[in-house]
A and B are shown apart, each in its own frame.
Chain A
Amino acid sequence: MISLRYLPVLLWICLHAECHEKLLDEANAAYKAGETAHTLIERQEAFNHALNLFTDFEHLYNPQYGTGVLYYDIANTYYQLEEYPFAVLYYYKALQLMPRSYRVHNNLAITLDKLVIPMNKPASVFNDIFFVHTRFSFPERMQLFFALAMILIVLGSVYVWKPIRIIRASITVVSLCCALMLFSLLYSRYFEPIEGVIVHSSLLYRDAGLQYASVSDQPVLSGNKVKVVDVQHNGQWLKVVTTAGDIGYVPLTAIRVI
């Protein structure tokens, strides 16, 4: 029997869970209300409300190894509010966790089209060969690695007590898969470039400071994806490489890291 002294804690958990469920329902309903609104003002109010709730969830939980649905929903809401650069940012975040989602790819393409930015298509041969790396999100690959490791533990345990040849062969195959998966995970962690999205159009400066000349007269337009190669001034300036190959600095206020 549970002691009475734990009652307030249990009560708090129940209330919290109930409140949490309500907020989730409220956020989903607000987005739906925005979609079905009859006037622009109603639509904007509903989408703004949904966005507030979604971003609160993001700050509270930060599900960077989650399903990606939250990022997708935030991106959609930004799109509906015509904040296309932020929508692009969150579609890219969602894409990292939902790489096989047709919805995300399609919505991202529509948003980039709005911003008149061509969509980069990665090399298909690489995709086909390293399909596990490109078509599975990082947490999914981590789960696969875990499952393979568990199989390896079971097979290894059986082999310790019953050293049968077929089990040994199975261990070799599973170990190889495990190693490949680990390599894929480490590659994602240490070798994949850090990318960001320009959320406010900015000139590309030759060094980290507004006093420096710009690389070109044309600013890097918002919505463009860039590679982040260096950080200056305690993270206030980022050295980036644009898709056109230009290298320069942009202030942190103009960019968000995916």
Chain B
Amino acid sequence: MVAKSIRVTLLFLFFAFPSLFAVWGTGESLMPAAEVTASIDPYQTVADQPIPGTVTVTHDNSQTVDEGSFQMGGKPLKVNHVKTVNINPSQTVVLSIYSFQLPGQSAGLYILPTISVKVGGKTYQTIPSSYEISQAQQMSQESSSGVTLSLKALIDGPPTVYPGQRIWFIYRFYFSGSIDLTDEKLPLLEAQGFQLVGDKRIRNYQEDNIEVQEISQQVQAIKPGKYSFPASSAEGYAYRDDIIKKRVYLAPKLKAEAPALDVTVTSFPAAGKPSAFRGAVGQFTIQTSLLTPAEVGVDEKMLLAIDINGLGEISTIGIPDLSSIKNSFRMSSLPPEVKTQDGQKRFVVEIYPLATSIKEIPPIPFAFFNPLIGDYVTENSAAIPIQVKATQVPKKEEAAPATPPPATPLPTPPSPRPQEVPSIAPSGPLEVEEKIQKPAAIEIAGNLELTDADLHNLWFGTWSTLYIVPFAFIFILAQKGYKRYREKFPTKEVVKTSQSMLDAAMRTKDPSVFSKRISQALLLRLFELGYTTSEEITFEELPEAGVTGEVRELLSEIEAGRFGKQTLSLQQLKAKAKELFDRLIPSETTSNKGISNDQS
């Protein structure tokens, strides 16, 4: 029995808990529990310096974090909200990050006490953790004299920088001896307002017996404007290794500074800016070539390669202005294929000739800004001769044309893009226009008929369905409990007596119901008193003599009244029946059951 209970309990846990957990996870109706963690930044734990820490609260978006309720070791803790991060856009769980600061401590290993906070009205707390304070600032009595540290900041690039151009931001540390830097402010490496290109480069070399570490970062100018970078600084302690290779830090603290720097990104001159200019900076040439045959049909695909070579910022080269070919060719809506290799950028464009009258792919202009001359230059590719043939296109009503209709060449200039043509020309080049506008065959399987059922979630197809699991367990366990109860307390059979049946008959107002009930009451009474041996007999089977005869007579009268004219009212019948019922006394032969059906 106990084993069975354990089995049931285990089965319940196996199903119910994951289900509830899953339902909570969906955030559909149940609120997930919050979680709080705290940590100390291991890289900033220096002796006698304020110790920064972070508390991360994982909670549901609807739950609010009470910032005033933060406590550490039972004492209030002042925190600052850093940010709130939504982990997944489809979920409501968010991370709220708070920072706090502990007073400076001497070097050693410490325990971060429990931090508690109220989230959504409930209190959650962290698990105590350990952190170590290093002895970086623990000075020896030795002096750091003889150790030098200086910093230089510089910008390597042209005197005038235009958007898209790349320059280098460089820092050089000059030092002698061993130095452990404790703080650096190097705003050039963050390059606010510029786009970083690649990773930082670090180079170490010697200059006049002084160690030099050079950190450089390539950046790309984005927008015109003046960008100011504040003074840079670095500070740290000189150190020497003792006999057990342990660092001994030397006072005083060394500090080096580099002055603030300004970089001005000049905007491109407005005067003389060609319409084909897309922001390319450098000195380039443009060439075009066909990757597909030069002989094609109307609206057949051609692949045009546009190659741009030269010196300059390849990344600033965008797709050239193709408006010169858009009048004669339909352009694919797909983005062009782009390849960059060895200072060359190639664009491969899909184009579709619109008419047989087109004889060439016209020159494509490419405009760029040459920073050396400080002006715009426009280069043009050479025209490419092509031959466009008429394509056989069935007319609207023709399922399969026997012979293709003769193509009529369009007068130059060719028609605009088919998508932009609002209506078909009424005569002349009508057939060709129709061919151009005729849409291609459908390439994919068609839609499925959308019905109302497709707009709703499937029945029992959502996470709410998992509520069936606890319901199932409760239902089964309730049955088991009920069965056990029934076994313990079996129900008593309700025995109907003639008196209770008489009472029921007296209460009714319906003559037919009264007739039935009074008949049952009297016959049962006769059986109880020993006048008959069975309660199942009918009144016609009763003897005609004595009280049984009176009962027979009354019931016959009531029965006759149901199908004919009733001489007595219902009340009179009730009174008569009651009087007769009361007159029935135990039979003299009750003990030996003398009267039976047979005697009648």
Contacts and interface: CB of A to CB of B under 8 A. Distances in A.
Nearest to B191: A211
A72 B458 contact: no
B457 A139 contact: yes
Interface of B: 11, 14-15, 18-19, 22, 25-26, 83-90, 191-192, 194-199, 315, 333-335, 338, 340, 396, 418-419, 421-422, 424, 437-439, 442-463, 465-466, 468-469, 472, 475-476, 479-480, 483
Given A40-B418, A140-B461, A189-B25, A70 B450 contact: yes
Interface in A23-77: 24, 27-28, 31-32, 35, 37-41, 43-44, 54, 57, 60-61, 63-70, 72-73, 76-77
B472 A39 contact: no
Interface string A116-129: 00000000000000
Interface in A151-171: 152-153, 156-157, 160-161
Nearest to A139: B461
Contacts of B442: 35, 80
A142 B437 CA distance: 49
Contacts of B483: 160-161
B18 A67 contact: no
A139 B196 contact: no
Interface string A123-155: 000000000000000111011011001101100
A217 B447 CA distance: 39
A194 B445 CA distance: 28
Nearest to A82: B333
B568 to A, nearest CB: 41
Q: Which of B84, B333, B450 has the most chain A CB within a 10 Å cutoff?
A: B450
Contacts of B465: 142-143, 145-146
Contacts of B335: 201, 221-222
A63 B84 contact: no
A28 B543 CA distance: 85
Interface in A180-226: 182, 185-186, 189-190, 194, 201, 210-213, 217-218, 221-222
Q: Which of A66, A83, A103, A222 has the most chain B CB within a 10 Å cutoff?
A: A66
Interface residues of A, number: 81
Contact of B458 (A67, A178, A213, A235): A67
Given A44-B419, A65-B457, 12 more contacts: A31-B447, A39-B437, A66-B461, A67-B458, A76-B444, A149-B469, A156-B476, A179-B14, A186-B22, A190-B25, A231-B86, A234-B83
Contacts of B192: 211
B86 A234 contact: yes
B447 A38 contact: no
A65 B462 contact: yes
Interface stretch (A2-10, A106-114, A241-249): A106-114
Contacts of B315: 217
Nearest to B200: A213
A211 B195 contact: yes
Q: Which of B18, B198, B453 has the most chain A CB within a 10 Å cutoff?
A: B18
Given A39-B437, A40-B418, A217-B340, A153 B475 contact: yes
B89 A235 contact: yes
A-B interface, 8 closest residue pairs, ranked by CB to CB distance from nearest: A139-B461, A65-B457, A69-B454, A146-B460, A139-B458, A82-B333, A61-B455, A156-B476
Contacts of A44: 419
A64 B457 contact: yes
Contacts of A161: 479, 483
